[in-house]
A = this chain, B = another copy of it.
Amino acid sequence: MVANIRDVARIAGVSVTTVSRVLNHHPYVQEEKRQAVLAAIEKSGYVKNMNAVNLSTGQTGMIGVVLPFTDHPYFAALLKGLAEEARAHRKKLVLFQTDYQADQEIEALEMLKHKQIDALIFCSRSSEWQVIKPYQSFGPIVMCEEIQEDVSYTFIDQYQVFLNALHYLDQKGYQQIGYCIGRRSGTNSQARERAYRDFLKSRQFPVNESWIFENCYHVQDGERVLEEISVATQRPDALLVTNDQTAAGILIKAQEKGFSVPEDLGVMGFDNHPIAGMLSITTIELPLEEMGRKLFRQSLKQEISKEEVYVKLVERKTV
């Protein structure tokens, strides 16, 4: 019933090659035969089976994207940039929402190996580099972190950015600085932690492990952080908060609890998400969509490249 290229050829009275040429807009085909083929396609209800094309060419036009969640503004913004660029290149994105589960990352890598996707972009990862590395032989792999390995990536100099932010808080007179972060592991987080510890040491500021708050992603996490602070005996006087959602939660709860910001507590966010504007949060703007676009372009190239993007301090009212 369903016609294939051979049926079309038969009906049109030409060879499959000619049909293929018409299909792919190749030159070297008489207008007359072209029309005959087109008519045969119409008549037979022929539909191209891309799986056969993929098998023959060894490509699928699909690029995999690994990220923990899509419902967090950070990753949503990254994804937006990726999707824009993918559309511009007429490629499609296959989503791997991992929830930071390594097995989902492996599935993505396996799909690269099995030629279901042409390349793979990691917006974040749980797996060790050593497990990812061998898959590079199956296609381009792109990371979103500064990693000292032979792989393409787009990065922000997290160490320097964090250090600058700390200096800024220092300048404003804060001396008991803590920070909120998603997870402690991950190259980006560890660069931040190094910056933090180096800074405290250089300034001889007090170190208090309980001023490092983990699992901070959403508004609720920020509320939790302020709850903890409010009952602590030793309180930080400023927080570096690695996303604006958490910063927002902190502010909301601070108001509730009667903490005044920035007097009792300085709060510096990251991302410059619209919520930061709403609540007048001083924040560090990250060019997430641009990162997404760069990441995508890197996934198209065989050559390894390293791209840096830069942040911008947005001064508002919480520091």
Residues of A within 8 A of B (CB): 47-52, 54-55, 58, 60, 62, 69-71, 73, 76-77, 79-80, 83-84, 87, 92-97, 104, 111, 113-116, 138, 218-220, 245, 248-249, 252, 274-275, 277-278
Contacts and interface: CB of A to CB of B under 8 A. Distances in A.
Contacts of A111: 50, 92
Contacts of A96: 92
Contacts of A220: 274
The 5 closest A-B pairs by CB, nearest first: A83-B97, A71-B76, A51-B55, A51-B54, A50-B114
Chain A contact residues: over half helix, strand or loop, or mixed? helix
Given A47-B114, A113-B47, A71 B69 contact: no
B49 A55 contact: yes
Contacts of A93: 94-95, 97
25 contacts: A47-B114, A47-B138, A48-B114, A49-B114, A49-B115, A50-B114, A50-B115, A50-B116, A51-B116, A62-B116, A70-B80, A71-B76, A76-B76, A79-B95, A80-B97, A83-B95, A87-B104, A92-B96, A92-B111, A92-B116, A95-B95, A218-B274, A220-B274, A248-B278, A252-B278
B87 A79 contact: no
Contact of A77 (B48, B71, B73, B116): B71
Contact of A60 (B51, B77, B83, B277): B51
Contact of A83 (B50, B58, B70): B70
A94 B117 CA distance: 11
Given A218-B274, A278-B252, A71 B79 contact: yes
Contacts of A76: 70-71, 76
- What's the number of copies of this chain in the assembled complex? 2
Contacts of A52: 55
A71 B58 CA distance: 32
A54 to B, nearest CB: 4
Given A55-B49, A114-B50, A62 B219 contact: no
A116 to B, nearest CB: 5
B69 A80 contact: yes
Contacts of A83: 70, 95, 97
A218 B273 CA distance: 11
A36 B69 CA distance: 42
- Among A52, A83, A245, the one with the most B-chain Cβ atoms within 10 Å of its Cβ is A83
Nearest to A92: B94
A69 B79 CA distance: 10
